[in-house]
Each structure stands twice: as C-alpha cells, then as structure tokens.
C-alpha cells in the first residue's frame, strides 16, 4: 500500500489518468470531466508552464493551492504556490523563519481578513465542492466554520474548561444542552484531556498547565467536526513531555481529519507527517512524501535546510 | 583622588536634597487633602444624623436636610448612567473593533480625547441651548442627566477602548477561528473580559458627574426643592412611571453651594455636612472601582 503510493509521484501523466479514474473515491463527479479540475501537480513549482498539468495525483485531495499568492500591503510574501493536500493525512510545512509557512496556514481560515491591507491571489480550493476559500465573494466566517485552528501559544478563553470546548458548538447554533455535553466529553477524550479534567469541567481553563491548555485548544478545535485542522507550531511553547503528548494526539487524529501543521522542528515533521512542503522565501521549493523529503530531497536547498546548513 | 571625593560628596548631597524636596511635595498634596477633609468633618460631622438625611431644606438651619438633594443626585445619576453607559460602550467598541483606521476615525478619536478636556460649564451652555430650549425639556432631571451623560461620555469611551486594547490578539483570533462573527466575538468574549476596565471607567465617570455643579447651574437647576419627584413605580399598570424625568430637582453640590452662600453660620455647618456626604459617596465609588478592577485582574491574566 505504502509502496504503490510512494511511486505515484514518479508516474507518467498517461498512467496517472487511468490511476485517477481507477480511484474515484471521494471525488466530485464534475471533477473528472473538467480539465481544469485535474489535481495540480505537486511539483508544479519546478515546471515552467503556468497551466496546471495533471501531475502526480494524490488518491484523495482535500484542498488545493492554485497559483496561490499573498501580500501584506505591497510586500508579497507567498508566490505562485501549487500544491495538493491529501485528505485525512498529515502535511507538514517547514522552512526557515519568515519563509511564509505560518502566513500560508493562516490563509486557509482567512485569518488575514482580520487585518487591513492584505491581499490574496489565486485560489485555495476546498474539495469536494471546489469552493475557493479565498474567493472575494466567499464569507470568511463560513469558511472558518469548516476549518479549525490550533495556535502557536495556547489561547484558551478565560472561561471554564467546558465553555471553551462548547463555544464552537454554540456558534454553530447547537442549543441542546445534552448534545453539547456529550460533544464536549467526546472532544476532551479525543484530545486526551478527559481523565484530567472530568472532575473540574467548570473550573477556569487558566488553571490548567500549558500542555493541558494546548490540548484543550485542540479539543476546542475538534469539537466542531472540522474538515481540516490547522496547527501553527503547536508545541513551540511546550516542554518535551507535553510536546510528545501533542504529537501522539496528532498521530491519533490521522485518518480522521486532514491536518496541516507548521513546524520549526524538523524531527517533528519527520515523526508525524505523511507529506512535507519546504517553503523558502515564499515559494514552495519542494513538496513530497515526508520519507522521501528527509532521505532523498530533490532540491539542493531542501537538503541544506534539513541538514541544518541554514535557517 | 581628592577631587573625586569632593564630586561624589557633592552629588550625594544633591541626591539627598531631592529626597527631602520630594517628600515635601508629596506631603503638601496629602496635607491639603487631609486639612480639607478634617475641616469639613469638624464642621459638618456633628450635623449628620438621620433627620438631616431625611428632611427637606428649610429656612431654619437646624431643621434643614438634604433629602431632596440626595434623591435628586441619585435620579440624575440614574439618567446619566442609563444614557452614557450604553452609548459610551458602543462607541468604544465601534472605534476599537469595527472602525477602519483612516483619517476620519483619527479625527473622531482626537475629538473624543479633546471632549474630555472641555470645561464642564461649556457642556451646561450646550445643554441650555439644546435640551432646555430646542427640545423643551426644561430644567428637569432629564436635562441634567443628559448633560452629565455628555460630560462623562468621553471617559466611558476611553475606558472601554483601553479595556478592549488589553485583550490579546490571540483571544480574538481564537474566537474568529471558531467561526464567530465580529459581534459574537465582542459579545461573548471582548465585553465580558473587559468589563472590569469598563466598569471602573463608568464608576470614575459617575463619581465625577455627581460632584458637578457648573453645568447644572447653567441649565437653571433650582437650589431649593422641598418636594420629591414622582415615584418611578405606581400601583396601577404599567407600574412604572417616567413622570419624575420632567420634575424639577436639586443635587448635593447645588444644595451645598446654596447653603454656603447664606450669611448664617448655622447653614455653613449644613453645607459642610453635605460636603461630607458628597465626599463619602465619591470616595466609596472610587473604592468600588478599585475593588472591581482588582477582582477582574485576579480572575483574568493574559
């Protein structure tokens, strides 16, 4: 299984087309007929043709970057990104500080819309509907309902543990107290926090330790059944033990939800991700299976970065 | 070697000089307040009893009381708070969370900051023109409440903005990331978390308003009121009445001013006693503000 997937990126477009039709699981019907709908190649950055070519296809794509770019005012931070993110897999974004990886992550749930002067270019297509997440007529609030985010520093609300997890549900109009209770319990269990908090659900979230707070933030993110969970360096403020627990947690979420994680820690990317994207100065230098990326990187720059030559 | 010793000695002397000077400056401020309070208490404390608090003013100093002024102050503050609090918070929230940062909002912000520095008597003139004549509210509790509300509006706005500004960006982002709209973020998070700061601002504003005399003199408030406004609650439906809004009124500082200007020293004791009551009210409001802030600081730390 792993074997066959691993060779996919090396296959020719012809062989791919059949592979694509052979594996229609989770694909929208319109997808196969529209040439525009073909999954963008993961290596498009290195190709010269602007048109998305049917590159190495993923079995099941959740979100697609199409010529995506982003600017803070006149400063263009991300340029011409074309990447597919596989459904229910973990994709890590690595790169030196200032390469734009957090900027990219925050574009998915339109966090940049909160501040003036930011502009998106291109598209981020959310499958199966192929909605352009950053489309000018797409409401950021609506998109944020489908995605969740876990931030760099734990940022629980100064409310009770219970209310922290319940907030997203309340925003989705869930009124039934029993439904909220059971969902809160389930989410805390999913975030491996239930045992520690079940006796003090109505105590302030600030009484928890840093690592527990971050797991609470993960529970809060999971409670709303997101299609994608975005992690922005979720362990950078935590000690090694707490980090390990978060990594185990992400491991347990794999195959349940699509995860995109920004990390400074290359061992972490190696440990937890299926795919890794290496960003440098706002460009996707390389995007490949994590094992390949860390054993046999395709680009000199990637190799230099992952071996600690810079960054 | 010698010269180093000399300069060091000189500089140390300088240091001590400032120490002494600083203590004197501090003491001057504290001593003034103490002298003020002391003389007020000395003159007035003896006059304060239940009948002083529960009697109307009278021609005979010994029988005069501050009931109408106390009730008047209370009702005026009620109107002031009812108007200034929602308006001030809404304006503060708008400026801090909604308004795009451009030239227009910059001008509005400068104006609000300046408004806080406008002498209160000017507010009285504005109120005389607008509330008394243009709107025909007369020199009523409503006019006084609206005037003082305008006076403390900038204080409430500034307090709201400062309180909102202390909430870290990460909290807003957490709320938006969960799909909350701007209003939901304000309502469920920003306002509850900034309530301590906002409440402090409101109380400080009200404690300033309760001592104001000049704008009320300008709108023509009477000093001698020997009746109470209509009761706000009635025995018949709809059980509440707003007739008191149109009532004539007096307030504590006006009553005090009236008594001070009488030649009979017995009235001066009444004035001092009113001053004691007024100071007791403002000091306890400030204490409440400090307590509220302390409580909020303890429960929320970013």
Residue A94 DSSP symbol = E
Burial environment of residue B14 by CB neighbours within 10 A (0 to 12, 13 to 18, 19 or more) = exposed
> What is the token pair recorded at A147?
């995605």
Most confident among A65-69, A114-118, B62-66, B80-84 (mean pLDDT): B80-84
Minimal-distance CA residue of chain A relative to B299 = A158
Number of Cβ pairs < 8 A linking chain A and chain B: 64
Q: For the segment B231-279, what is each residue's pLDDT rounded down to a tens digit?
A: 777 777 677 777 778 788 888 888 888 888 888 888 888 888 898 999 8
Q: What is residue B1's predicted lDDT score, i.e. its pLDDT?
A: 63
Q: Is A217's CB within 8 Å of B174's CB?
A: yes
B173 pLDDT more than 90 = yes
A44 pLDDT more than 90 = no
Residues in A touching B173 (Cβ below 8 Å): 111, 114, 149, 151, 155
Q: For the segment A201-247, what is each residue's pLDDT rounded down to a tens digit?
A: 999 999 998 889 999 999 999 999 999 999 999 988 888 888 888 89
| Alpha-helix runs per DSSP H in A145-198 | 161-171, 177-190, 194-197
For residue B176, give the nearest of A114, A157, A217 by CB distance: A114
A25 pLDDT more than 70 = no
User: Among the listed ranges A56-70, A76-90, B164-178, B204-218, which one has the minimum average pLDDT value?
Assistant: A56-70
Can you spell out the DSSP letters for A11-58?
S-HHHHHHHHHH--TT--HHHHH-GGGSPBPTTGGG---SSPPB-S--
A8 pLDDT more than 70 = no
Average pLDDT on B156-164 reads 93
Average pLDDT on A12-23 reads 37
Residues A85 and A66: their CA atoms lie apart, in Å, by 12
Q: What is residue A39's predicted lDDT score, i.e. its pLDDT?
A: 41
Q: What is residue B17's predicted lDDT score, i.e. its pLDDT?
A: 95
Residues in B touching A73 (Cβ below 8 Å): none
Chain A from 187 to 206: CB within 8 A of any B CB: 204, 206
Minimal-distance CA residue of chain A relative to B184 = A171
pTM for the whole structure: 0.79
Average pLDDT on B224-230 reads 75
Q: What percentage of chain B carries pLDDT values higher than 90?
A: 36
Band of residue A3 on the pLDDT scale cut at 50, 70, 90? very low
Q: Is B178's CB within 8 Å of A167's CB?
A: yes
A54 pLDDT more than 70 = no
Q: What is residue A259's predicted lDDT score, i.e. its pLDDT?
A: 93
For residue A220, give the nearest of B101, B178, B299 by CB distance: B178
Q: What is residue A10's predicted lDDT score, i.e. its pLDDT?
A: 37
Q: What phi and psi, each to the nearest 5 degrees, are found at residue A93?
A: -110, 120
Q: For the segment A164-184, what is each residue's pLDDT rounded down to a tens digit?
A: 999 999 999 888 899 999 999
Band of residue B163 on the pLDDT scale cut at 50, 70, 90? very high
A53 pLDDT more than 50 = no
B90 pLDDT more than 90 = yes
CB contact A168 to B (< 8 Å):
yes
Q: For the segment A238-290, what is each residue's pLDDT rounded down to a tens digit?
A: 888 888 888 988 988 888 899 999 998 888 999 999 999 999 988 888 898 88
Q: What is residue B169's predicted lDDT score, i.e. its pLDDT?
A: 92
Residues in B touching A116 (Cβ below 8 Å): 100-101
Chain B from 167 to 206: CB within 8 A of any A CB: 168, 170-181, 184, 188-189, 193
Report the SS3 class of residue A114: helix
Residues B6 and A275: their CA atoms lie apart, in Å, by 74
Bond preceding residue A159 cis, omega within 30 of 0: no
Q: Chain-wide mean pLDDT for chain A?
A: 80
Q: What percentage of chain A carries pLDDT values higher than 90?
A: 29
Residues in A touching B175 (Cβ below 8 Å): 157, 167
Q: For the segment B55-67, what is each residue's pLDDT rounded down to a tens digit?
A: 888 778 778 888 8
Q: What is residue A23's predicted lDDT score, i.e. its pLDDT?
A: 37
Spatial contact of A143 and A110, defined as CB atoms under 8 Å apart? yes
More confident residue, B232 or B28: B28
Minimal-distance CA residue of chain A relative to B97 = A114
Q: How far is A95 from chain B (nearest CA, A)?
A: 23
How many angstroms separate the Cα of B233 from the Cα of each of B142, B238, B241, B243? 17, 9, 6, 10
More confident residue, A20 or A159: A159
Spatial contact of A110 and A47, defined as CB atoms under 8 Å apart? no
CB contact B56 to A (< 8 Å):
no
Average pLDDT on B204-227 reads 84
Q: Which residue has the tokens 């598209």?
A: A123
Q: What is residue B251's predicted lDDT score, i.e. its pLDDT?
A: 87
């Amino acid at each position: 299984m792993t074997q066959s997937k691993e060779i996919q990126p090396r296959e020719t477009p012809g062989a791919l087309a059949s592979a694509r039709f052979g594996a229609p699981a989770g694909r929208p019907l319109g997808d196969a007929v529209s040439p525009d709908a073909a999954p963008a190649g993961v290596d498009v950055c290195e190709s010269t043709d602007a048109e998305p070519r049917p590159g190495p296809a993923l079995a099941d794509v959740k979100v697609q970057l199409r010529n995506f770019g982003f600017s803070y005012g006149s400063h263009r931070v991300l340029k011409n990104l074309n990447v597919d993110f596989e459904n229910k897999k973990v994709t890590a974004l690595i790169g030196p500080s200032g390469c734009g990886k957090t900027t990219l992550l925050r574009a998915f749930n339109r966090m940049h819309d909160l501040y003036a002067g930011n502009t998106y270019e291109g598209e981020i297509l959310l499958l199966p509907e192929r909605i352009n997440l950053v489309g000018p007529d797409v409401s950021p609030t609506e998109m944020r309902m489908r995605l969740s985010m876990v931030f760099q520093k734990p940022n629980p609300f100064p409310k009770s543990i219970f209310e922290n997890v319940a907030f997203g549900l309340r925003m989705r109009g869930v009124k039934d107290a029993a439904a909220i209770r059971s969902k809160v319990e389930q989410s805390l269990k999913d975030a491996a926090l239930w045992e520690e908090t079940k006796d003090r659900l109505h105590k302030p979230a600030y009484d928890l330790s840093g690592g527990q707070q971050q797991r609470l933030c993960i529970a809060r993110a999971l409670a709303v059944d997101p299609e994608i969970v975005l992690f922005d360096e979720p362990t950078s403020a935590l000690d090694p033990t707490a980090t390990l627990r978060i990594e185990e947690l992400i491991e347990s979420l794999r195959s349940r939800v699509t995860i995109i994680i920004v990390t400074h820690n290359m061992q972490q990317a190696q440990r937890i991700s299926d795919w890794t994207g290496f960003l440098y100065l706002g460009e996707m230098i390389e995007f490949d299976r994590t094992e390949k990326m860390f054993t046999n990187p395709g680009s000199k720059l990637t190799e230099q970065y992952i071996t600690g030559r810079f960054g | 070697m010698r010269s180093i010793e000399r300069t060091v000695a000189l500089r140390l002397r300088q240091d001590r000089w400032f120490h002494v000077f600083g203590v004197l400056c501090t003491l001057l401020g504290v001593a003034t307040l103490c002298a003020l309070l002391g003389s007020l208490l000395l003159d007035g404390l003896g006059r304060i009893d239940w009948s002083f608090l529960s009697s109307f003013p009278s021609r005979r100093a010994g029988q005069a009381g501050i009931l109408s002024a106390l009730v008047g102050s209370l009702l005026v503050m009620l109107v002031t708070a009812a108007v200034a609090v929602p308006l001030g918070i809404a304006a503060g929230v708008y400026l801090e969370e909604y308004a795009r940062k451009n030239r227009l909002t910059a001008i509005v912000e400068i104006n609000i900051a300046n408004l806080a520095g406008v002498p209160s008597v000017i507010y009285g003139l504005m109120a005389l023109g607008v509330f008394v004549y243009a709107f025909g509210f007369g020199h009523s509790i409503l006019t006084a409440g609206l005037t003082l509300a305008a006076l403390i509006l900038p204080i409430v706005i500034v307090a709201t903005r400062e309180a909102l500004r202390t909430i870290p960006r990460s909290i807003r982002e957490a709320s938006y990331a969960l799909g909350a709209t701007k209003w939901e973020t304000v309502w469920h998070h920003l306002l509850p978390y900034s309530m301590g700061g906002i409440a402090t601002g409101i109380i400080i504003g009200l404690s300033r308003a309760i001592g104001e005399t000049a704008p009320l003199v300008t709108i023509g408030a009477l000093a001698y009121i020997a009746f109470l406004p209509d009761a706000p609650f009635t025995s018949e439906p709809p059980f509440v009445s707003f007739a008191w809004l149109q009532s004539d009124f007096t307030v504590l500082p006006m009553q005090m001013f009236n008594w001070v200007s009488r030649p009979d020293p017995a009235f001066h004791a009444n004035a001092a006693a009113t001053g004691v009551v007024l100071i007791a009210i403002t000091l306890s409001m400030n204490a409440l503000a400090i307590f509220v802030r302390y409580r909020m600081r303890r429960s929320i730390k970013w």
